[in-house]
Amino acid sequence: MVTATKLLCSCFSATVRFRSSSPTITVLSSIDRFSSHILFQSSPLRLHQLTHTESLSISVSGSSSPSPMTDCLPPPMKILESKWRPMCLYHTQGKCTMIDNAEHLAKFNHDISKDLEVSGDTVLQNQCSSPDLDRLLVLDLEGKVEILEFPVCMIDAKTMTFIDSFHRFVRPVRMSERRVNEYINGKYGKLGIDRVWHDTAIPFKEVICEFETWLASHNLWNEKDGGTLNQAAFVTCGNWDLKTKVPQQCKDSCIKSPPYFSEWINLKDVFVNFYKIRARGMRSMMTELGISLLGSHHLGIDDSKNITRVLQRMIADGSPLQITARRSSSGLDNVEFLLENRIK
Protein backbone atom coordinates (compact mmCIF):
# COMPACT_ATOMS: atom_id res chain seq x y z
CA MET A 1 0.00 0.00 0.00
CA VAL A 2 1.25 3.44 -0.79
CA THR A 3 1.63 5.42 2.43
CA ALA A 4 -0.93 8.05 3.33
CA THR A 5 -0.18 11.31 1.62
CA LYS A 6 -1.20 14.84 2.55
CA LEU A 7 -2.87 16.48 -0.43
CA LEU A 8 -2.45 20.23 -0.30
CA CYS A 9 -3.60 22.93 -2.67
CA SER A 10 -4.82 26.50 -2.47
CA CYS A 11 -8.44 25.62 -1.77
CA PHE A 12 -8.57 22.38 0.20
CA SER A 13 -6.59 19.70 1.98
CA ALA A 14 -7.37 16.08 2.58
CA THR A 15 -5.69 12.80 3.50
CA VAL A 16 -5.74 10.19 0.77
CA ARG A 17 -4.96 6.49 0.51
CA PHE A 18 -4.34 4.65 -2.73
CA ARG A 19 -5.98 1.31 -3.55
CA SER A 20 -4.11 -0.82 -6.01
CA SER A 21 -7.22 -2.68 -7.08
CA SER A 22 -9.16 0.41 -8.12
CA PRO A 23 -8.14 3.65 -9.84
CA THR A 24 -9.92 5.57 -7.10
CA ILE A 25 -8.76 7.70 -4.21
CA THR A 26 -10.63 7.12 -0.98
CA VAL A 27 -10.89 10.37 0.96
CA LEU A 28 -10.83 10.27 4.74
CA SER A 29 -12.50 13.02 6.71
CA SER A 30 -10.61 14.22 9.78
CA ILE A 31 -13.97 14.54 11.55
CA ASP A 32 -15.80 11.41 10.44
CA ARG A 33 -13.80 9.05 8.19
CA PHE A 34 -16.78 6.82 7.58
CA SER A 35 -19.21 9.59 6.74
CA SER A 36 -21.53 8.95 3.80
CA HIS A 37 -20.12 11.99 2.04
CA ILE A 38 -17.19 14.35 2.32
CA LEU A 39 -17.16 18.08 1.73
CA PHE A 40 -14.03 20.07 0.96
CA GLN A 41 -14.04 23.47 2.62
CA SER A 42 -12.38 26.25 0.67
CA SER A 43 -9.79 28.40 2.35
CA PRO A 44 -11.26 31.71 3.55
CA LEU A 45 -8.50 33.42 1.59
CA ARG A 46 -10.18 32.48 -1.70
CA LEU A 47 -13.75 32.14 -0.56
CA HIS A 48 -15.24 34.33 -3.26
CA GLN A 49 -12.93 33.15 -6.02
CA LEU A 50 -14.07 29.55 -5.61
CA THR A 51 -17.16 27.83 -4.33
CA HIS A 52 -17.28 27.49 -0.54
CA THR A 53 -17.11 23.70 -0.88
CA GLU A 54 -16.03 21.82 -3.95
CA SER A 55 -16.23 18.23 -5.20
CA LEU A 56 -13.05 16.38 -6.07
CA SER A 57 -12.77 13.70 -8.72
CA ILE A 58 -9.30 12.18 -9.11
CA SER A 59 -8.19 9.08 -10.99
CA VAL A 60 -4.82 7.43 -10.44
CA SER A 61 -3.06 4.40 -11.75
CA GLY A 62 -0.50 2.33 -9.95
CA SER A 63 0.26 -1.06 -8.64
CA SER A 64 0.99 -2.28 -5.15
CA SER A 65 0.00 -5.22 -3.08
CA PRO A 66 -3.23 -5.10 -1.08
CA SER A 67 -2.94 -4.45 2.63
CA PRO A 68 -5.22 -5.28 5.54
CA MET A 69 -5.68 -1.59 6.22
CA THR A 70 -7.02 -0.82 2.76
CA ASP A 71 -9.18 -3.95 2.81
CA CYS A 72 -10.95 -2.84 5.98
CA LEU A 73 -11.81 0.57 4.58
CA PRO A 74 -15.37 1.12 3.32
CA PRO A 75 -15.99 1.34 -0.44
CA PRO A 76 -14.97 4.60 -2.08
CA MET A 77 -17.37 7.31 -0.88
CA LYS A 78 -19.29 9.58 -3.17
CA ILE A 79 -18.26 13.18 -2.74
CA LEU A 80 -21.20 15.54 -2.71
CA GLU A 81 -21.14 19.24 -3.37
CA SER A 82 -22.36 21.45 -0.55
CA LYS A 83 -25.55 23.37 -1.06
CA TRP A 84 -23.89 26.52 0.27
CA ARG A 85 -22.26 28.83 -2.25
CA PRO A 86 -20.81 32.32 -1.84
CA MET A 87 -22.89 35.21 -3.12
CA CYS A 88 -22.13 36.77 -6.48
CA LEU A 89 -21.05 40.20 -5.30
CA TYR A 90 -21.90 41.72 -8.67
CA HIS A 91 -25.42 40.38 -8.35
CA THR A 92 -25.94 41.80 -4.84
CA GLN A 93 -25.37 45.22 -6.37
CA GLY A 94 -27.53 44.61 -9.43
CA LYS A 95 -24.52 44.44 -11.76
CA CYS A 96 -24.10 40.76 -12.64
CA THR A 97 -23.69 40.23 -16.41
CA MET A 98 -23.32 36.42 -16.21
CA ILE A 99 -26.78 35.51 -14.97
CA ASP A 100 -27.24 33.19 -17.97
CA ASN A 101 -23.86 31.49 -17.59
CA ALA A 102 -24.37 27.97 -16.20
CA GLU A 103 -20.82 27.65 -14.85
CA HIS A 104 -21.11 30.97 -13.04
CA LEU A 105 -24.52 30.04 -11.58
CA ALA A 106 -23.13 26.73 -10.36
CA LYS A 107 -20.30 28.50 -8.54
CA PHE A 108 -22.09 31.50 -7.01
CA ASN A 109 -25.39 32.00 -5.23
CA HIS A 110 -27.74 34.62 -6.69
CA ASP A 111 -30.50 34.28 -4.09
CA ILE A 112 -29.58 35.72 -0.70
CA SER A 113 -32.78 34.35 0.83
CA LYS A 114 -31.29 30.84 0.69
CA ASP A 115 -28.95 31.80 3.53
CA LEU A 116 -31.78 33.27 5.61
CA GLU A 117 -34.51 30.68 5.29
CA VAL A 118 -36.74 30.10 8.30
CA SER A 119 -38.31 26.68 8.75
CA GLY A 120 -42.08 26.36 8.79
CA ASP A 121 -41.97 25.44 12.48
CA THR A 122 -40.44 28.79 13.42
CA VAL A 123 -42.37 31.14 11.13
CA LEU A 124 -44.73 32.26 13.84
CA GLN A 125 -46.51 35.51 14.59
CA ASN A 126 -44.35 36.56 17.52
CA GLN A 127 -46.30 39.25 19.33
CA CYS A 128 -43.48 39.69 21.85
CA SER A 129 -40.78 40.85 19.45
CA SER A 130 -41.80 44.39 18.55
CA PRO A 131 -45.46 45.27 18.02
CA ASP A 132 -44.57 48.74 16.66
CA LEU A 133 -42.23 47.51 13.93
CA ASP A 134 -42.98 45.76 10.66
CA ARG A 135 -39.49 45.65 9.15
CA LEU A 136 -35.99 45.22 10.58
CA LEU A 137 -32.98 46.48 8.60
CA VAL A 138 -29.76 44.73 9.60
CA LEU A 139 -26.81 47.00 8.80
CA ASP A 140 -23.12 46.19 9.22
CA LEU A 141 -20.71 48.71 7.72
CA GLU A 142 -17.13 47.94 6.74
CA GLY A 143 -14.22 50.37 6.67
CA LYS A 144 -12.33 52.12 9.46
CA VAL A 145 -10.91 55.16 7.66
CA GLU A 146 -13.89 55.63 5.35
CA ILE A 147 -16.88 53.38 4.69
CA LEU A 148 -16.01 50.73 2.10
CA GLU A 149 -19.17 48.64 2.16
CA PHE A 150 -22.82 49.38 2.92
CA PRO A 151 -24.93 46.19 3.27
CA VAL A 152 -28.50 45.88 4.60
CA CYS A 153 -30.68 42.79 5.03
CA MET A 154 -34.42 43.35 5.55
CA ILE A 155 -36.62 40.85 7.38
CA ASP A 156 -40.22 40.83 8.61
CA ALA A 157 -40.23 41.79 12.29
CA LYS A 158 -42.99 39.29 13.12
CA THR A 159 -42.32 36.24 10.94
CA MET A 160 -38.53 36.62 10.63
CA THR A 161 -38.74 35.93 6.88
CA PHE A 162 -36.28 37.58 4.52
CA ILE A 163 -37.75 40.34 2.35
CA ASP A 164 -34.94 42.10 0.47
CA SER A 165 -31.35 43.30 0.64
CA PHE A 166 -29.35 46.35 -0.37
CA HIS A 167 -25.61 46.15 -0.97
CA ARG A 168 -23.08 48.61 -2.32
CA PHE A 169 -19.31 48.90 -2.21
CA VAL A 170 -18.32 52.47 -1.35
CA ARG A 171 -15.48 54.46 -2.87
CA PRO A 172 -13.64 56.79 -0.43
CA VAL A 173 -13.67 60.48 -1.30
CA ARG A 174 -10.81 61.87 0.78
CA MET A 175 -8.09 59.29 0.10
CA SER A 176 -5.53 59.28 -2.71
CA GLU A 177 -5.83 56.61 -5.39
CA ARG A 178 -2.63 54.97 -4.15
CA ARG A 179 -3.94 54.85 -0.58
CA VAL A 180 -7.28 53.48 -1.77
CA ASN A 181 -5.53 50.67 -3.66
CA GLU A 182 -3.46 49.79 -0.59
CA TYR A 183 -6.54 49.96 1.61
CA ILE A 184 -8.64 47.73 -0.64
CA ASN A 185 -5.83 45.24 -1.20
CA GLY A 186 -5.40 44.90 2.56
CA LYS A 187 -9.12 44.71 3.27
CA TYR A 188 -10.55 42.70 0.37
CA GLY A 189 -7.53 41.36 -1.53
CA LYS A 190 -7.11 38.48 0.91
CA LEU A 191 -10.72 37.47 0.19
CA GLY A 192 -10.16 37.59 -3.56
CA ILE A 193 -12.84 40.25 -4.11
CA ASP A 194 -10.74 43.39 -4.63
CA ARG A 195 -11.56 43.28 -8.36
CA VAL A 196 -15.28 43.30 -7.62
CA TRP A 197 -14.82 46.30 -5.34
CA HIS A 198 -12.90 48.27 -7.97
CA ASP A 199 -15.49 47.39 -10.63
CA THR A 200 -18.54 48.43 -8.62
CA ALA A 201 -17.68 50.91 -5.84
CA ILE A 202 -19.41 54.31 -5.95
CA PRO A 203 -19.15 57.39 -3.70
CA PHE A 204 -21.10 57.40 -0.44
CA LYS A 205 -23.32 60.25 -1.62
CA GLU A 206 -24.53 58.10 -4.53
CA VAL A 207 -24.98 55.11 -2.22
CA ILE A 208 -27.30 57.15 0.00
CA CYS A 209 -29.36 58.30 -2.99
CA GLU A 210 -29.76 54.70 -4.19
CA PHE A 211 -30.50 53.51 -0.66
CA GLU A 212 -33.28 56.07 -0.26
CA THR A 213 -34.79 54.93 -3.55
CA TRP A 214 -34.68 51.37 -2.20
CA LEU A 215 -36.30 52.41 1.10
CA ALA A 216 -39.04 54.29 -0.75
CA SER A 217 -39.75 51.28 -2.97
CA HIS A 218 -40.66 49.39 0.21
CA ASN A 219 -42.70 52.31 1.60
CA LEU A 220 -40.29 52.64 4.51
CA TRP A 221 -39.23 56.22 3.90
CA ASN A 222 -40.61 59.43 2.48
CA GLU A 223 -38.66 62.67 2.67
CA LYS A 224 -41.90 64.67 2.76
CA ASP A 225 -42.94 62.89 5.98
CA GLY A 226 -39.88 64.12 7.83
CA GLY A 227 -37.36 61.60 6.60
CA THR A 228 -37.69 59.06 9.42
CA LEU A 229 -38.41 55.38 8.86
CA ASN A 230 -41.98 54.13 8.62
CA GLN A 231 -42.53 51.25 11.09
CA ALA A 232 -38.99 50.02 10.56
CA ALA A 233 -35.73 50.15 12.49
CA PHE A 234 -32.05 49.56 11.86
CA VAL A 235 -30.43 46.68 13.73
CA THR A 236 -26.67 46.83 14.28
CA CYS A 237 -24.08 44.77 16.12
CA GLY A 238 -22.86 47.63 18.30
CA ASN A 239 -23.30 51.39 18.28
CA TRP A 240 -20.30 52.28 16.10
CA ASP A 241 -22.04 52.02 12.71
CA LEU A 242 -24.70 54.68 13.29
CA LYS A 243 -23.37 56.54 16.31
CA THR A 244 -19.90 57.19 14.90
CA LYS A 245 -19.20 56.07 11.35
CA VAL A 246 -22.21 57.32 9.39
CA PRO A 247 -21.93 60.90 10.78
CA GLN A 248 -18.20 60.88 10.02
CA GLN A 249 -18.74 59.66 6.47
CA CYS A 250 -21.51 62.18 5.86
CA LYS A 251 -19.15 64.94 6.94
CA ASP A 252 -16.38 63.61 4.67
CA SER A 253 -18.87 63.39 1.80
CA CYS A 254 -20.20 66.91 2.43
CA ILE A 255 -23.80 65.78 2.99
CA LYS A 256 -26.17 66.12 5.90
CA SER A 257 -26.68 63.00 7.99
CA PRO A 258 -30.16 61.64 7.10
CA PRO A 259 -32.66 61.66 10.00
CA TYR A 260 -33.48 57.97 9.53
CA PHE A 261 -30.03 57.19 10.95
CA SER A 262 -30.94 58.84 14.27
CA GLU A 263 -32.08 55.72 16.14
CA TRP A 264 -31.27 52.03 16.08
CA ILE A 265 -31.39 48.68 17.87
CA ASN A 266 -28.01 47.51 19.14
CA LEU A 267 -28.43 43.73 19.06
CA LYS A 268 -25.64 43.20 21.61
CA ASP A 269 -27.59 45.21 24.19
CA VAL A 270 -30.80 43.30 23.49
CA PHE A 271 -28.86 40.03 23.68
CA VAL A 272 -27.38 40.73 27.13
CA ASN A 273 -30.75 41.80 28.53
CA PHE A 274 -32.65 38.81 27.14
CA TYR A 275 -30.20 35.93 27.59
CA LYS A 276 -28.23 37.47 30.50
CA ILE A 277 -25.03 36.67 28.59
CA ARG A 278 -22.48 39.37 27.83
CA ALA A 279 -21.58 38.51 24.25
CA ARG A 280 -19.35 41.26 22.88
CA GLY A 281 -19.63 40.64 19.15
CA MET A 282 -21.28 38.77 16.32
CA ARG A 283 -19.04 35.71 16.63
CA SER A 284 -19.60 35.36 20.38
CA MET A 285 -23.38 35.69 19.98
CA MET A 286 -23.34 33.02 17.29
CA THR A 287 -21.24 30.75 19.49
CA GLU A 288 -23.60 31.18 22.46
CA LEU A 289 -26.58 30.29 20.25
CA GLY A 290 -24.85 27.44 18.43
CA ILE A 291 -25.08 29.15 15.03
CA SER A 292 -22.31 28.38 12.53
CA LEU A 293 -20.63 31.12 10.52
CA LEU A 294 -21.56 31.44 6.84
CA GLY A 295 -19.14 33.16 4.49
CA SER A 296 -16.27 35.49 5.40
CA HIS A 297 -16.08 37.44 8.64
CA HIS A 298 -15.58 41.17 7.92
CA LEU A 299 -17.12 40.94 4.47
CA GLY A 300 -20.04 43.25 5.17
CA ILE A 301 -22.76 41.41 3.26
CA ASP A 302 -21.80 38.11 4.92
CA ASP A 303 -21.67 39.71 8.37
CA SER A 304 -25.08 41.29 7.79
CA LYS A 305 -26.51 37.87 6.92
CA ASN A 306 -24.95 36.26 9.99
CA ILE A 307 -26.25 39.03 12.28
CA THR A 308 -29.65 38.52 10.66
CA ARG A 309 -29.47 34.83 11.53
CA VAL A 310 -28.78 35.76 15.17
CA LEU A 311 -31.72 38.18 15.06
CA GLN A 312 -34.02 35.52 13.60
CA ARG A 313 -33.05 33.13 16.39
CA MET A 314 -33.66 35.77 19.06
CA ILE A 315 -37.11 36.56 17.69
CA ALA A 316 -37.90 32.84 17.59
CA ASP A 317 -36.80 32.58 21.23
CA GLY A 318 -39.22 35.38 22.14
CA SER A 319 -36.76 38.23 22.63
CA PRO A 320 -38.44 41.66 22.80
CA LEU A 321 -36.97 44.25 20.45
CA GLN A 322 -36.83 47.95 21.15
CA ILE A 323 -34.85 50.99 20.13
CA THR A 324 -31.69 51.00 22.25
CA ALA A 325 -30.08 54.28 21.14
CA ARG A 326 -31.40 57.59 19.89
CA ARG A 327 -29.53 60.67 18.69
CA SER A 328 -30.75 64.01 20.00
CA SER A 329 -31.74 66.73 17.57
CA SER A 330 -29.41 69.05 19.48
CA GLY A 331 -26.30 67.50 17.99
CA LEU A 332 -24.81 64.45 16.26
CA ASP A 333 -22.64 63.63 19.26
CA ASN A 334 -25.54 63.66 21.71
CA VAL A 335 -26.80 60.05 21.84
CA GLU A 336 -29.10 58.67 24.51
CA PHE A 337 -28.80 54.98 25.37
CA LEU A 338 -32.15 53.59 26.43
CA LEU A 339 -31.12 50.36 28.19
CA GLU A 340 -29.35 50.59 31.52
CA ASN A 341 -27.73 47.18 31.14
CA ARG A 342 -25.71 47.39 27.95
CA ILE A 343 -22.39 46.41 26.36
CA LYS A 344 -19.97 49.34 26.60
Domain positions in the chain: 5-72, 91-337
Q: Under a CB-based contact definition with an 8 Å cutoff, are residues 92 and 167 in contact?
A: yes
Please give the CATH topology (third level) of the domain spanning 91-337.
Nucleotidyltransferase; domain 5 (3.30.420)
Give ∠ CA 312-317-320 in degrees, rounded to 5: 85
Averaged pLDDT, groups of 10, the chain, 344 residues long: 36 35 34 28 36 33 39 35 80 95 94 86 56 93 96 95 98 95 93 96 98 97 89 97 97 96 97 94 96 94 97 94 91 89 87
In the set 48, 52, 142, 263, the catalytic residue is 142
Task: Report the C-alpha gap between 9 and 41 in whole angstroms.
Answer: 12
pTM of the model as a whole? 0.75
Per the annotation, the verdict on 212 as an active-site residue is: no
> How far is the C-alpha of 231 from the C-alpha of 51, rounded, in Å?
38
What local confidence, expressed as pLDDT, does residue 26 receive?
32
Please report the pLDDT score of residue 236 as a whole number.
Answer: 98
CA 72 to chain centre: 42
Return the DSSP state at 295: S
Ordered DSSP codes for 5-60: EEEE-SS-EEEEEE-TTSS-EEEE-SS-TT-S---EEPPGGGTTTS-SEE------
- Among the listed residues 37, 104, 218, 298, the single catalytic one is 298
